[in-house]
Every structure is written in structure tokens, then in C-alpha cells.
Amino acid sequence: MFRGIPFKYDDKLKREIDLRGLSYSTFKNYRSHLRRISEFFKKDLMDVSVDEVKVYLHRLKSELHQHPQTINLCRAAFLFFRQSILGDYSSHLTLPHHKFVHKLPDILPAESIIPILEGISLRYRAILSLCYGSGLRISETLALEVSDIDSNNMKVYVRSGKGGKSRYTILSQYSLICLRKYWKSYRPNGSLIFPQYHNHSKPTSPQYVQNLFSETYQKLNPLSNKRITIHTLRHCFATHLLDSGVDLRTIQVLLGHKSIASTSMYLQLTDLHFSKLTSPLDRERM
């Protein structure tokens, strides 16, 4: 992949991303989409027209059945390139934004998560326990450094959050025990807690952890038709906290959400919240 047409905009793209304080993952995602566009049309990205990109975006939707978020990310990457690198702010530079319906995520009951964690090796149990017990994204977990774990105050410092934002979240006793056992067994070199085996300066691949989690879940739940990923554990963290009476604002801070509106989604997922509500129709009859 990416061998036909050389991509000569890495440095400029990285510079523009850095100037705006955007994350390295944004740079990687934008670069990936831009290189695919260049490869598809077999020419320099500078020579790809807006109409051609419309054809490409339509192909992502109709032929490859890509998720709307993927299509919109590709659109954003091309617009960013034309505007920020080529300085093209002309009126013709318009691409449709793909509208999509937000679906509520599937949630696992708390009692079903421990068997999943116990069904995998110690290293990956420690990783996944942080995703659930601290509400971390998998990228945040794998980027953790030894100094980010504060066992005295039972909290975790997230230095690589979405949008480059840092925050603190809680550390579970279960995760702390897993981390201590893992540390004694593996003794990783360097600052990262979960480095690659052959390169301790880089974090473990999230794709491998995702595949392991999915396989373990399917073995334990062969008849399940739920859409379960590692990110489900983060949703479970928020929902189960809400079930236990923690307020939305606190959950927002722990998750690192910019807006309380994002956190409010979990009101739709908690059974306990609905069980405490009384319809105004029934209240009038009391």
C-alpha cells in the first residue's frame, strides 16, 4: 500500500496539525486518507479536484460501505489539505457532510465483565481493567507511563487524552493488583507501562488488544448479537457509575468529555435512572 504515488506532504501536514494543537492521531488519520485518495487517482494530491473527491467519497459509501464517520474524516482531511497547505479557500471548495444517526451503544452488565478479564493473560487483563475500571480509551491506556499511576491517591493521570487534553480519573483496586502482578512478571524497560515487546519506546498495538478482547467475549457469549468492542468498557464505566448514584458532572470530568451533552447519553443507558422516575400520568393518580 502507498507505493504508486509518493506522498510529499508529510512535513507540511505535521506542521499544520501541530500549529493548531491537534493530536498526532489526527495527523496519522489525515495522512492515511490523503494518501489513499492520491493512490486511488494515481496522481499527486495537489492535482486531485473537488469533483474527483466527491466520486471517491461516494465510492466509500456505496461500494465499500464505510461508516459515515470514516467518510466525514476523509472529507475533513481533504479540506484541511486544500485550505491549510495549498491555501485554497475558494468558494468552489465545498464537499457534502455525511449525515448519520447516532445509535446508543450496547452495554454489558457489571457481573459479565470480570469473567472476560479473568479469561485473558495478565498483561492484557491489566490493560482492559483500566479501560473499564478507569473509563480509559484504549489509546489512553496504552500511552500510560509508570509515573501516571498514583497508587497513594488511587488515581490515574491521563496525559494523552482526546484532543490533547489531560485529566485525572479513578484507579480501581482490581487494576492496581493487576498492574503490580504484571510489573513483577514483565518488568518492562522505559517509561511506558505497556510497550511493544521488541520496541520499548512504542506502545502495544491497540488492534491486537481489540482482537483478543473480541475473541474472548465471543467465546463466553457465542449467541450474543451485541456490538461489543473495547470502547464498550468505557461506556460501561460511565453507565455503571451512573447506576451507583454518581452525578453526571463527575462522570464528565472522569471521561474527559468537553460537553456535558456527550455524557448525558448515559442517561439513556442506565436502568436504575429510569426505575426511579414516575410518569406524570401515574403521579396524578397517586
Catalytic residues: 137, 162, 231, 234, 257, 266
CA atoms of 75 and 94, how far apart (whole Å): 10
One-character DSSP codes across 180-211: HHHHHHH---SSBSSB-SS-TTSBPPHHHHHH
150 beta partners: 155
Q: Which three cell numbers stand for residue 278?
A: 414516575
Element (H, E) at 167: strand 167-170
In three-state secondary structure terms, 223 is coil
